[in-house]
Amino acid sequence: MDPSFLWRGGCGFLMFYQMGVMKALQELAPEILRSASKIYGTSSGALIATLVTCGCEIDAVIACMTETVKNMEGTILRYLYPNNRVILNIQKALEKCLPDNAHQLASGRLHIFLTQVSGLQNVVVSEFSSKEEIIQAVTCSFFVPVYNGYIPPSFQGVRYTDGAFSSPEAAFYTKTMITVSGFALDNDICPRDKPGTFFSVYMLQQVFQISLENFHRLVCCIFSPSRLVMHEFFLKGYHDAGFYLERNREFGIDYLARNTTLPLASESHKKCLSQTSGGSWNQNPSTRILTSTDAAFKDLTRQHGAMSRAENETEEKTQQLPLY
């Protein structure tokens, strides 16, 4: 039976984690994306689901969003008033990346979750008559009232907000569905925090892990982090996707392309980071953190070294974790 994908939302700037997952799957296991019969996305996940469905390269979107955060760095406004800048740049990126026949590629395969303003009902849209309609649907699924503005956008004449505000019924989830999230949840591909250091709470059809790591991700989700942190999220998503594929291979489910070597990150991926950051990037094997020749990043590297060391400890524990 063909798999399906659910790219969860509520991630905000954690979309860089999901971008890393997408990049890894495109490079390491492209067949798993091509064979997916249905691809679901909600909130920030709607953007990734759209790019996957239409077979787009993610590099242009990474560059666009990195530039967005770069322009917000060093100003108090990045903490107080992110507003529509992110959505406007996502619209521009989609307009640039999506092919003219995107609606034909997406109809029937791409499913975007929306929350109808009237009654807060969960709505899934899967039929599109133009590329512009896809962009409108993604915009609606991204929109958080007050944070992104006060007037919700509309799709086919109806106003909608962030798809994460409502959730599908439990029967929606299937055994062949592969779920992806930037938070440590009960998903197939997600960060793995230390066992025994968190509590769990069930809400919105998900098991949320209450931990310091998830709290840090929540802060980065709402407030724009530095470019260095975003690149760390990207690398983490790439790594976790590779780990998921490797664990599945151990259980006899081999999605990996031939001659694939793990672990990662690929040269094309590091080249992308170099182009978007303005520095010469490399991954230090001893610390697994990114370093840059750009002086602007040196202080940030030291600042986030503790977080990277914590991630190293987390990675050591992942081998002991069950595969969901």
Which residues are marked as active site? Answer: 43, 162
**Secondary element (H or E) of residue 15:** helix 15-28
CA gap 66, 226 in Å, rounded: 9
DSSP string, 26-38: HHH-HHHHHT-S-
DSSP structure string for 254-310: --PPTT--SS---HHHHHHHHHHHSS-EEE-TTT--EEESSGGGHHHHHHTHHHHHH
Interatomic CA distance for residues 16 and 63, integer angstroms: 11
Number of Cβ atoms within 10 Å of the Cβ of 1: 7
Question: In Å, how far are 24, 34, 47, 273 from 41, measured between CA atoms?
Answer: 18, 16, 7, 25
d(CA 222, CA 211): 17
DSSP helix/strand/coil, 162: coil
Please choose, from the candidates 91, 85, 189, 208, the residue with its C-alpha nearest in 3D space to the C-alpha of residue 139.
91
Beta strands 39-42 and 4-7 are: parallel
**How far lies 246's CA from each of 2, 243, 283, in Å?**
19, 5, 21
Rounded CA separation 14/267 (Å): 22
Q: Which residue is associated with the tokens 């030291």?
A: 302
β-pair partners for 158: 155
| DSSP at 110 | E
